[in-house]
Amino acid sequence: MSIDNYINELFDRMHADGVLPPYLYNAKKKTFDPERDWMYYSGPVWTEDEPRAAVKAFLTGKWLVAGEHCAKFEREFSKMFGFESSLMVNSGSSANLIMISALKKHLDWGDGDEVIVSPVGFPTTIAPLVQNNLTPVFTDIVFEDLNFDLEKVEAAITEKTKAIFISPVLGNPPDFDKLKEISEKYDIELVLDGCDSLGSKWKGKELSEYAIATSCSFYPAHHITTGEGGMVSSNDKDLISLARSFAWWGRDCYCVGSANLSKKGACGNRFDKWLDGYEGKIDHKYYFSNMGYNVKPLDLQGALGLEQLKKIEDIHVKRRENKEKAESIFKEVLGDMVHIPGELDHAETSWFGVPIVCNKNK
């Protein structure tokens, strides 16, 4: 019997016995009992496709660690969002850490160089800056969209400023034309923490098109989920090779899978005489040129990601509809006691959540 048949049998029996994973059980439920049922503000949007794909990847994989499914997910993700290259890691926090580590080395940023950030965001947008001996410079926000005030961003630029690290609040983009204008005027980079904004657009373009590099999170509350998981993406392939090195123990060589088997490896340096000043031969695969980490995902997370990508268009539409529904309910019930930020004129937000600001004195 093929593995697919075993998996079909497993799911058939689970259905027959009414034993379903909670995310499928909740999705199938058509009634809501406010006395008993929990209402989750978010969660995985999965059908049976995801657990089936994960079980199959787990049972058939040669290595359980990042392998062919992760590599395919990286390629498909890049194709879908218009990147030259992507690297899957084990979380959005790791994606930020690896992205900032790679950018610092790639662009020759020094200790103490400054990166402008917003105080309204997630801790692991900021932590990688401190971990890399960079200085986060906080600029205040505007209530209109809860993103940083772009006038204040410009005023905060000094000769030490290397980048503006944008993390659109709940996926809602600030004015990316203005950000681009500032970055070009002062010759600094735009870096995107896109963990909350996958699929959000500015003037019809992906937000990542404006940035040198973009991170993404696949934690269950996010647009697509692999349980834990994250991605670093860019149009600069060298930056992603460097990011891969940081994520894979600091290893210099990028040969994996069949690339290992070609003579000298795909990198051209395996078992060769290539190290300046050293006469003997060295295997490049065991040469470590960066102070690295190990933040690789499991291959079954790649399999989950591939299934989730097929649903991203629907998820985008649903998230926009849900924001509208929730907003009208809150407005009806709470009136002017609350202000619910909306999108700017040129934004098309793939809402990560519904922002609610309580009006003072109401």
Ligand X SMILES: Cc1ncc(COP(=O)(O)O)c(C=O)c1O
3-state SS class at 122: coil
Among 62-70, 119-127, 304-312, 329-337, the segment contacting ligand X (CB under 6 A) = 119-127
- CA count, 13 A, side-chain hemisphere, 238: 4
Catalytic residue among 69, 222, 223, 284: 222
Nearer to ligand X, 96 or 183 (CB): 96
Tell me the per-residue interface mask from 68 to 107 with ligand X, x by CB under 6 A, - otherwise: -----------------------xxx--x-----------
Taking residues 169 to 208 in sequence order and writing x for each that binds ligand X by CB under 6 A, - otherwise, the string is: ------------------------x-xx------------
Pick out residues in 255-274 that bind ligand X (CB under 6 A): none
* Smallest distance from ligand X to CB 137, Å: 18
Segment holding 216, helix H or strand E: strand 213-217
Q: Alpha-carbon torsion 321, 325, 330, 336, what sign?
A: positive
Q: Is there a catalytic annotation at residue 15? A: no
Q: Which amino acid is at 148?
A: F
What is the distance in angstroms between the CA of the first residue and the CA of the last residue of the chain? 66
Q: How far apart are CA 226 and CA 45, in angstroms?
A: 10
> Looking at beta carbons only, is 120 or 266 nearer to ligand X?
120
CA distances (Å), 22 to each of 48, 284, 339, in order? 12, 46, 34
Phi, then psi, of 88 in degrees rounded to 5 = -85, 135
**Rule CB under 6 A: is residue 145 a binding residue for ligand X?**
no
CA 183 to centroid of chain Cα atoms: 22
**Residues forming beta bridges with residue 193, ordered by sequence position:** 215
Minimum CB distance to ligand X smaller for 121 or for 292: 121
Q: Give the shortest CB-94-to-ligand X separation in angstroms.
A: 7
349 touches ligand X by CB under 6 A: no
213 within 8 A of 233, measured Cβ to Cβ: yes
- 214 forms part of the interface with ligand X (CB under 6 A): no
Residues forming contacts to ligand X in the complex (CB under 6 A) are 91-93, 96, 121-122, 124-125, 167, 193, 195-196, 217, 219, 230
So which residues are the catalytic ones? 222
